[in-house]
Chains A and B, each alone.
Chain A
Amino acid sequence: MISLLLISLILVSIVPLHKNTIFNLALSRIVSIILIFSSFLIMNIYYIDRIYSGVHIFYGYISINSINQVFQFFLLLIGALISVPGSVLQNNKLIQTSNLIFQNVHPYLNNYGLIILFNLIGACALITANDMLTLYIAIETQSFSLYLLSTLKNDSIRSATAGLKYFLIGSLASIIILLGIALLYYASGLTNFENLALYFNITDFNPYYSTLILSIGFILIGLLIKVGAAPLHQWTPDVYSLVPTAVTTWLVVLPKLSIFVLLLQIIELILLGSITIQNLLIIISILSLIIGAIGGLYQVNIKRLLAYSSINNLGFLIIALTISNKVSLEAFTFYLTQYTFTTLNIFLILIAFGYLAYLYPIKNNRMFITQTKELSNSNLNVGDQTQDINFINQLTGLFKNNPILTISFIICLFSFAGVPPLMGFFAKQQVLLASLSVGFIFLSLIAINTSVIAAFYYLKLIQVSSFINNDLSLNLQKKFFKNTDKLADTLSKGVGQGISKNFFNSNSNISHVHSYLISILTCTILLYAIKPTLLLNLTSILAFYAFSI
C-alpha cells in the first residue's frame, strides 16, 4: 500500500515541472483523488484472517496489523478531505467573481498537495513502524514536511516566524528521540519493538534497567513535544496562530493522529515494568488538562484558543493511554476519532467563515488593524490577512449573517465541551469511566473540573458568534473609515444593502464540497447518539487487537 503511495507521489512530484501547462487546481484534485484511492486500496488489502495479530514486512522494520490498517485508511481519508476544500474553493471563486484579488488568495497553496503527500508518507510509515530506525526516519519525514508546510507562505513574516519556531522545537524533539534511541541501543543492543518487548520480559535483573527507563522516557518526551503535550506545549499556540488557517487544519489534525496511533501501538512497550514512566505520563496528562483549560481563558486569538483546547484534549488522550487496559484503549481510539472529526470540522468552518468574511475585506481588515496595532509594522498586506479569521471578535454577528454555519460551529464547540447528546460527551465519558475503573479518582476529578473550566471559553466563542450584536462593530467601522472617502463609499454601500442579506447570498461562495463536508461532519457529531454501535464496534474491535498484540 505504501508502494502505491510512493509511485503516486513521484508522479505528482514530477508534475510541478510542467507548472505552466497544468492548472494548480488540477494538481490539488489529483492529490486528493490519489489519497482517496490509496486509502481504499489499503482497505482492499485488509485481510483480517491473515493479519490476525500483525504481520511483519520488510525484515521486521514495518508491521501491519488491524490498528495500522484502519488508521492508515482513516489518515489518508482525512488527508484527502483536508486537501479537497482549498482547491475547489479557488476554482469556484475564479468562476464566480473573476476578481483579481481572488487569484491572490491562495498562491501559496500551489505546493500544498506535494507537501502533504510527503507528510502522509511519513505518517503512514510512522504508524506502521516496528523499529526504532523506522520510527526516527518516519518522524523526520513527517516533521520536515510540517516545517515546510508552516513556512509555505514565504512572503509573510508571520509564517516564517512560525516555521522557524516549529523547526527549532521540532528538531530539539528529534534530538531527544534520537538520544533516547541511542541509550536504548546502549542498554539493550536492540532496536526492534518486538525484540525489546521480549528483552524487557525475559530479564529479571537487568544492570541496565535505569538506562532503559531513561531512554524510554526520552523517546516518550520527544514524541510528546511533537504532539505538544502540556509542559512542552509552548510552541503550539504560536505556530497554530501564525500560520494560515488552511495549514493550521493540517497541523492540528494529522501529526497528532499519527503520533498517537504510534503511541497506542508501543504503549505496552513503554509501560513495561516501570511505574516511573506511568507516573510521568500521569503528570503530563494532569498538566495538559490544567494548562489547556486555564491557558485558553484569556486568549483573544481564536487559533491560540483552539490550540489550548487541543492541549486540554491531549490530556484526556494521555489519561486513556496511561491506563492501558482494554476499556481505556477503546476509549482512546474513540476519543482520537472524535477529536479528529471535531477539530477538522471546526477548522473547516473557520475557513468557511474566512471566505465569507472575504466578501467584506474592509470590515475584516479594520478589525484586524484595530486589534493588532503592534503587528502593523510587519509586512501585512490586505490579501494576506482578509481570508483568515484570527481574532474572536471577528466572529461577531455571524449568527445573523450565516445561521446554519454558525449552528454547526456551535455544535462542534458543544461537542468539545462535552455536552451530552454529542459525540464529545461519549468520548469523555468513556475515558473517565476507564480511569475510574482502575481507581484514578483524583485524575478523573481534575479531568472533569478542567473540562468545565474549558467549557467557559467554548461558551464565550458561542456567545461572541451568536449573541453579540453587529451594530457595535459597524459603528466602529464608520469611525474608522470616516476620513477616507473611497472606503466610506464602499462601507456605506455595504451598510445600505444590508450586510446580512449579502451574507445570505454569499452562501454560494463556499464550494459544494466544502459545505457537504462540513454538514456531514456536523451530522456525524450530532447524530452519533442515535446509532453509536457503528463506531463503537470498530473501536472495541481495534482495542481488542491492540490489547492482544
Chain B
Amino acid sequence: MNTINSLNIVLEIITIISVIAALATITSTNPIIAIIFLITLFLNIAVYLILSGLNFIGLSYLLVYIGAITVLVLFIVMMIAPDLSNTVETGTNYSKLLPSAAIIACLALSLFSIVVPSFVVDLSHFELYDLVIKSFSNIINSIWGVNSFSNSTLIGFINKNNIYDLSNLPSYLDLWVPTDELLSLTNKYNSLPSLAGSAMGNGESIIQNTTPSALLYNNLQIQSVGSSIYGSYSIILILSSFLLLIALVTPIILTRNNQESRS
C-alpha cells in the first residue's frame, strides 16, 4: 500500500513537470524550443503511462508522438525557417494577457479543486527518505514487472480515478457496487466487453518472463488492446479510420493548385 502511494507521488511529480512543459510550450517564443518542450511533455506522459502500468500504450505513445509527429514538426519548422521577430512580438502579446490568464487559471483551479475530490494530495504523512527510496524501488519494480502493480494494469483503466489517494479506497469500492450491478445489467446489450473480467482472471496465471522486453511488452496487454479494438470497439475503429482519411485528404485538397485543375 505504501509503495503504491510513493509511486503516486512520483506520478504527481511527473504530472507537475508535464504541466510546466505544456505551459513552456505555448509561451516560448522560439518555435524550436517550443517543440523541444513539447517533446518533454510527451516523454513525461509516456513515462506516466508506463509507470501506471499501461506499458504498451505508453510505448506506442513514445513511438508515435515523439518518434513521428514531433520530429516531423521539428523538421517542418526548420524547413520553413520562421522569422523570429514576429514570434517575439507575439511573446509580448502574451505578457499583456498574463493577468487575465492568471485570473482564468485561478478560477479554473478553484473550480476543479471544489469539484474533483482528492485533487490535492495530502503530503504530510510521508517521510522524505521513505518516499525517495520506495519510489525508486517501485519504479524499478514496476518496470521489471516483479511487483504486484503490473497485474493491475487493465483494471487500471477503471481504477484510474483512485490513483491520487488510496485512503478512501473502501468507500470507493462501495460506490462501485451499483455500477458493477450495472455492468452485469447492461451485459445483455454487449455494451461493455467482458474483457476486464477475463483480464482479472488471467492476470495471475501469466508466466512471468524475466527478459526486460517481454516484461515491457506484456502479451496480455497487446492481446486485450487488439481484441477490444477489433472486437467491441470496431465501429469506433471504422469511424476513426474515416477521420484519418479526411485528415489525409485535407492537405492534398488545400495545397493543390486550383488553377491547374481548370484546364
Contacts and interface: CB of A to CB of B under 8 A. Distances in A.
A118 B234 CA distance: 19
A381 B247 CA distance: 30
A144 B116 contact: no
A403 interface: no
Interface string B182-210: 11011001111100000000000000000
Contacts of B245: 13, 118
A187 B235 CA distance: 25
A133 interface: yes
A121 B193 contact: no
B67 interface: no
A58 interface: yes
Given A137-B243, A203-B178, A214-B115, A107 B258 contact: yes
A152 B191 contact: no
B179 to A, nearest CB: 6
Interface in A207-265: 207-208, 210-211, 214
B102 interface: no
A148 B189 contact: no
Which of B115, B186, B235 has the most C-beta atoms of chain A within 10 angstroms of its own C-beta? B235
A62 B234 CA distance: 11
A161 interface: no
Interface residues of A, number: 57
A13 B115 CA distance: 46
A89 to B, nearest CB: 17
Contact of B239 (A59, A137, A154, A187): A137
A195 B182 contact: yes
A192 B191 contact: yes
Interface stretch (A108-116, A302-310, A337-345, A446-454): A108-116
A396 interface: no
A122 B191 CA distance: 21
Q: Which of B182, B186, B192 neighbours the largest number of chain A CB atoms within 10 Å of its CB?
A: B182
B116 A211 contact: yes
A140 interface: yes
B236 A137 contact: yes
Contact of B179 (A134, A147, A188, A211): A188
Contacts of A58: 234-235
A203 B176 CA distance: 10
Contacts of B262: 103-104, 107
A125 B114 CA distance: 35
Given A125-B239, A137-B239, A194 B186 contact: yes
Contacts of B254: 148, 151, 154
B261 A110 contact: yes
A139 B256 CA distance: 26
Interface in B79-114: 111, 114
B81 to A, nearest CB: 21
Nearest to A151: B254
A133 B243 CA distance: 13
B250 A148 contact: yes
A186 interface: yes
Contact of A61 (B176, B235, B242): B235
Nearest to A3: B238
A201 B158 CA distance: 21
Contacts of B179: 188-190, 199
A95 interface: no
A6 interface: yes
Contacts of B111: 214
Most B CB within 10 A of own CB, among A137, A140, A186: A137
B15 interface: no
B120 interface: no
A396 B186 CA distance: 62
B60 interface: no
Contacts of B258: 107-108, 110, 154-155
B115 A211 contact: yes
A92 B28 CA distance: 54
B182 A198 contact: yes
A138 interface: yes
A154 to B, nearest CB: 5
Contacts of A192: 186, 191-192
18 contacts: A59-B190, A59-B193, A59-B235, A61-B232, A110-B258, A118-B249, A125-B239, A141-B242, A145-B246, A148-B246, A148-B254, A152-B253, A195-B182, A195-B183, A195-B191, A198-B185, A206-B175, A207-B175
Interface of B: 111, 114-117, 158, 160-161, 171, 175-176, 178-179, 182-183, 185-186, 189-193, 231-236, 238-240, 242-243, 245-247, 249-250, 253-256, 258-259, 261-262
Q: Which 10 A-B pairs have the closest CB atoms?
A: A60-B191, A58-B235, A59-B232, A107-B258, A137-B239, A118-B246, A60-B189, A210-B115, A141-B243, A186-B161
Given A151-B254, A192-B191, A199-B179, 10 more contacts: A13-B245, A59-B190, A60-B189, A114-B249, A115-B246, A131-B191, A134-B235, A137-B236, A198-B182, A199-B178
